[in-house]
Structure 1
Amino acid sequence: MRVLGLSAYYHDSAAALVVDGEIVAAAQEERFSRKKHDARFPRQAVRYCLEAGGIRLTDIDQVVFYDKPFLKFERLLETYLAFAPRGFRSFRVAMPLWLREKLFQKSLLAKELKSLDDGFDPEGRLNFTEHHVSHAASAFYPSPFEEAVVLTMDGVGEWATTSVGVGRGTELTIEREIHFPHSLGLLYSAFTYYAGFKVNSGEYKVMGLAPYGEPRFTQAILDHLIDVKPDGSYRMNLDYFDYCTGLRMTNAKFDALFGGPPRKPEQRLTQREMDLAASVQAALEEIVLRMTRALHADYGIDNLCLAGGVALNCVANGKILRDGAFKNIWIQPAAGDAGGALGAALSGAYGIGGATRRVTPGRDAMKGAYLGPEFTQADIEARLKAEKAAFERLAPDAVIAETAKALAEGKAVGWFDGRMEFGPRALGARSILGDPRSPQMQSVLNLKVKYRESFRPFAPSVLREDVAEWFELDCDSPYMLLVADVAAGHRKAMTEAEMKLFGIDKLNVPRSDVPAITHVDYSARIQTVSADVNPRYHALISAFKDLTGCPMLVNTSFNVRGEPLVCTPEDAFRCFMGTEIELLVVGDAVLRKERQDPALKRNYETAFELD
């Protein structure tokens, strides 16, 4: 049975194809449209998925959309009625769009699908699943577990904001829910907004900023903003928030509690924002740990699956793992709304199609999240020639050797290989790489390559067989969704003067033998690389280890701030020519910056809207 899953019309629209329970392809629309968090119907992503599966839309048995619009509309109306007459301005803005488009989403989707293939008949083939069911399905069905508790946390779906399910074999049932307006995702997003970052985009910046601050507001959050029970269930105090009916997340009472108005976007960061980030991160961790401990006690199942936007908080995930209530955890790499498309397809495959689920212990079904487009070497070369790029084609072994040598020399390398990643993380297919031993590499990549805020940390891609020697972690972390500390033997002790530094002043103090990936609290967001999942990337890191003794590389996404991850060889070349990346590797084609025509240089620093 062939099932196409779709997410769209909110943010991060995507498409996914599942055939007889196997995940064949998945991609976000933003990668093709080059518009960050593109929410439009995923026309190009659908075309790609069909092409990857070698089928037409008329061959699809079911199309499943990732949420239920009528339930969302019900929540919208009930919320406005509950708070009336407050929020009339927001109601007036939202209602015309709902009445024009969103309320008639089934006919809109049918029209979009027929525009892709006029032979497609949506009658009986277009279905909808609830938002949190989509998230839960995306987490459980690809997991390496026959049985698991499934915890989904995000801003809001239709009504649910936190849900608990249990998966056994092909059965997945949702057993508990917390409903809007009570939401951990919206609590975190409120602080994202208040700190001057974009909601649904900048939450990971709050997580990255947290170690620079002190959690001096955590108790105020727990005392005033959210009432948390011992089992992690919670209720928000809506006196401090404006997201139910307003056009902003927080209100004057929130401002008064935390000492002033929200920071304006791009305004200089102060210690207050760092302390607020540390405080909401600590509060989130406390709530989630209460929840996971109680869930294990209630269900007695040792496996936990996570999805929803909150599951992208890799610091909290690391705390759950170390807490040990659950022996094993697995997190959907596309945990946000894009992953809802995959969950919708899987829900259709197992719920409607009766697919047989095959579980391999220790091995998930995500194929490393390498589910996007790939390009043959001949196609790569034709595309680069059309861009007037100067390149040389090397034998595969020579590509690895040349790249490892450039990295050991401290060069920033663009690495484009195989199928593009699905989800927000670059995992060695569309990555910018660097030497983690370099004290300057973090600032160079942030300021001269990524054109982004200096405080933002970078992740290591480390050989799976070496991870326990370098980090306080000894399990798979293939999707960069777990944070652990650098092992004590590789840390550098701080001087008394360095320990007294505050905020961003901490940034330039080397804390380990690999300072470019060591955050100010000695932590790192780890991607383990296995030879059987990505053999070429594993070979590159191994070659770098042979040259330097260091079994890891700095790995950040191949894009600049505000740009989606590169998808095509042309995208990679343009980003290469718009930044200070010194070497670009696309398949077996090697491009050196000094050999390119200077007339092809681009200004990427201001090319994209800031995220």
Structure 2
Amino acid sequence: MNVLGLSFYYHDSSVALVKDGVLVAAAAEERFSRKKHDSGFPELAIDFCLKQGGISIHDVDHVVFYEKPFIKFERMLITAMATFPKSANVFRESMQRWISDKLWIKSMMAKRLDLPRSKFLFADHHVSHAASSFFTSPFEESAILTVDGAGEWTTSTMAIGRGNKIEVIKEMRFPHSLGLLYSAFTAYCGFEINEGEYKLMGMHPYGEPRFVDEIYKLLHVGEDGSLWHDMEYFQYHHSTNDTLSEAFEKHFGKPRRDPKDGDKSLDPYYCDMAASIQRVTEEILLKMVHHLKEITGMDNLCLAGGVALNSVANYKLMRNGPFKDVYIHPAPGDDGCAAGAAYWAYNHLLDQPRGPALQHAYLGSEHTDQQIQDFLEKNDIAYKKIDDDEEFFDFVARALQDGQVCGWMRGRFEWGPRALGSRSIIADPRRMEMKEKLNEKIKFREAFRPFAPSVTEERADEFFEIPEPQRHWPARFMLYVAPVRMEKRSDLPAITHEDGSGRLQTVYKQTNPAYHRIIERFGELTGVPVIMNTSFNLKGEPIVESPAHAFNTFSLSGMDYLFMNNYIVDADAKKKIADTVFHLRHEGDSVTQMVS
């Protein structure tokens, strides 16, 4: 049975194909369209997933959309009526979009995909989140917590998963939302909502949580973690542009949004604010999971929703929470809902048996040696190839040891927002200067942003406080920020954040043998089986998908080497960038054309 899950028309449009209970392909549209956070109909990702699954669209038994548009429309309509006339502008703009497009999704999908309407199903948004985590987890039964901004009406659920069924037992409703609360402070600190939450999380170690009590004055928090917001301070429910009200600004002071103020990336006031909302978020989540443990009595916890991308909080839920084991899907945000919708239909609705647990996130496209070589030769790019894998891995490890910054493209790209050693920029974590170099000359982003360490799972606990790393599935998806062991911090200055932590990825030989081997070989040369890892993209761009994208990013940055499979391109090849980029930008194939 083939079930295609779709998520689009909000942000991060994505597609997933579940084939006889196995997630065989999953990808965000942005990887192919090259539009960051592409929200449009995911035509290119659909084509990829079908091709990867070896089927045509007419072999698909069901297409499942990740939420229920009419219920979401009801929420927007009722909210607008309840807050009128303040909501006049948001009502007008949203109705234009909904009446023209979003209400008629079923008809549009049937027409675009040339399928009968009977094949289309609609899952509840938070059930899609829950299913994405539980049905890919190794647990036969588990408590489930979903937390995000908002679905249709729901902003958080507590549920139980048993076998191939999910039962929602509690929910929290809009406008009261932990995800929207965190986003409000993201906006307050001057970052873009749905993009800047990572920056807020990265900034928080530079501050002190001295505004915690002031934040709680805006809320009522129940012992079960349920929230009630004093909506006098917020206006995301009735404004098109502003999340925060005048009362919020009077309470906390002016938001950081006036360009005349210049760059205040590490302004102590806003660092303290970031630290405070991070503390509040963690405390509320801990209340939620303790209550969930109390009412379910289960040993396992599955997390999902955009708030589950808060890797700092995730680690604390694992270490300080009441559950024995925790699992998080590699794409816990709305992109992952494509997989969750497909699994919900396959397992829960159609009563099919559970498939295997998701061992890895390498579910995207890949490129053969011949495709890479054809690209390089077509564009007259100088290269060399080392056919012997062990010799090649030694070359890479020694390049890292010598302080070279390298683009690494190999195998199928990763599902979710994290680069996990398939489309990564890699460097030596022992060099203090690497953090500044990568932020300033490679990624072109804020200086305070941290970088992730990739470590072999066999030696992860030697360098990070993560006992029994094999038990901790979120670590393989880079969803924990764990303390670097005190005695190892001097060995890892480039990845050790201000508070002594690192957002580690545990790398397994059986799921990514090449990446595991270069880390292992680097460890043999240096005594440190850890490498510095960041996503293979420039600021504001999607992670690379093809050889063309990889070479373009390499050419526009300060990287020293580009490794694509066993092919090596060095910095001298950049001298031909002008002619190459001009040629590639004018290719007709939208999947391989260069980004502007």
Q: TM-score range by the shorter chain?
A: over 0.9
Q: 2:351 aligns with which of 343, 347, 354?
A: 354
**2:246 alignment partner in structure 1:** 252
Cα distance between partner residues in 1 of 2:307 and 2:204: 15
1:598 CA drift (Å): 3.9
Kept after mapping to 1: 8 A contact 2:106/2:117: no
Task: From 134, 156, 174, give the equivalent of 1:162.
Answer: 156
Structure-2 separation of matches of 1:387 and 1:319: 49
Q: Which amino acid aligns with 1:72?
A: K
1:548-563 equivalent positions in 2, closer than 5 A:
548-563=526-541
Range with greater deviation from structure 2 (83-92 or 145-154) = 83-92
Is the 1:139–1:332 contact (alpha carbons within 8 Å) kept by the matching residues of 2? Answer: yes
Structure 1 partner of 2:62 = 62
C-alpha separation between the residues in 2 aligned to 1:473 and 1:352? 37
Partner SS state of residue 491, structure 2: coil
Distance apart, 1:393 and its partner CA = 1.3
Cα distance in 1, alignment partners of residues 370 and 433 from structure 2: 37
Does 2:49 correspond to 1:53? no
SS in 2 for 1:157: coil
What RMSD over aligned residues (CA atoms) do the two structures have, in Å?
1.5
Answering whether residue 257 of structure 2 is matched by residue 279 of structure 1, we say no
The one of 183, 189, 194 aligned to 1:200: 194
Q: For each residue in 1:469-527, what CA deviation from the matched residue of structure 2 results, as whole angstroms up to 9, or x when unmatched? A: 11111223100001111112224xxxxxxxxxxxxxxxxxxxx3201110000011110
2:416 matches 1:423: yes
Q: For each residue in 1:52-102, what CA deviation from the matched residue of structure 2 results, as whole angstroms up to 9, or x when unmatched?
A: 011100000000000000000000011011111221111111111111111
Give the partner amino acid of 2:542.
P
1:159-184 CA distance string (max 9 Å, x none): 10000111011111111100000000
Q: 1:275 to 1:263 in 2, by over 3 A?
A: farther
Contact 1:450 1:561 in 2 (8 A): yes
Tell me the equivalent position of 1:486: 484
Q: Comparing 482-491 with 69-78, which one deviates more in the overlay? A: 482-491
Structure 1 distance, partners of 2:367, 2:161, is 37
* Alpha-carbon distance change, 267 to 112 in structure 1, aligned in 2, over 3 angstroms: farther
Structure 2 match to 1:118: none
Distance 1:123 1:9, change over 3 A: same
Kept in 2: contact 1:437–1:514 (CA 8 A): yes
Contact 2:34–2:595 (CA<8 Å) still a contact in 1?
no
- Residue matched to 1:181: 175
- How many pairs are equivalent? 574
Shift of 1:268: 2.6
Superposition deviation, residue 596 in structure 1: 4.1
- Residue 313 of structure 1 aligns with which residue? 310
2:385 to 385, 393, 409: 393
Contact 2:289-2:321 within 8 A present in 1 as well: no
Query: Structure 1: any 5+ residue segments left out of the alignment?
Result: 115-120, 492-511
Q: Give the deviation of 1:229 after TM superposition.
A: 1.3
Query: Residue in 2 aligned with 1:509?
Result: none
1:448-487 equivalence runs, <5 A: 448-474=441-467, 475=469, 476=472, 477-487=475-485
Greater CA deviation, 320-329 or 424-433? 320-329
Instruction: Determine the C-alpha separation between the residues in 2 that align with 1:164 and 1:386.
Output: 54
Q: What's 2:34 paired with?
A: 34
Output the TM-score relative to the length of structure 2. 0.94
TM-score normalised per structure 1: 0.92
CA distance in 2, matches of 1:178, 1:439: 45
Q: State the secondary structure of the residue aligned to 2:117.
A: coil
1:268 match = 264
Question: CA offset at residue 256 of structure 1?
Answer: 1.1
In structure 2, what is the Cα distance between the partners aligned to 1:51 and 1:405?
37
Letter of the 1:2 partner, please give it: N
Please give the alpha-carbon distance, in whole angstroms, between the structure 2 residues aligned to 1:59 and 1:404.
Answer: 45
Query: Is contact 2:233-2:245 (8 Å) kept?
Result: yes
Moved more, 206-215 or 386-395: 386-395
Q: Residue 405 of structure 2 aligns with which residue? A: 412
Residue 419 of structure 1: how far off its partner (Å): 0.4
Contact preservation (8 Å) 1:561, 1:608: no
Matched, 1:344 2:341: yes
Fraction of identical pairs, as percent:
48
Deviations along 1:299-352, whole A, 9 cap, x unmatched? Answer: 110100011100000000010011041010001110111101010111111134
C-alpha separation between the residues in 2 aligned to 1:568 and 1:404?
23
> How much has 1:291 moved relative to structure 2?
0.9
The amino acid across from 1:348 in the alignment is: A
Range with bigger deviation, 582-591 or 269-278: 269-278
What corresponds to 1:239 in structure 2? 232
TM-superposition CA deviations, 1:124-175 (whole Å, max 9, x none): 1011111001100000000010010111000000010000111011111111
> Partner amino acid for 1:554?
M
Alpha-carbon deviation of 1:259? 1.7
1:323 paired to 2:320: yes
Q: Distance in 2 between matches of 1:264 and 1:45?
A: 38
For 2:164 and 2:282, the matched residues in 1 are separated by 31
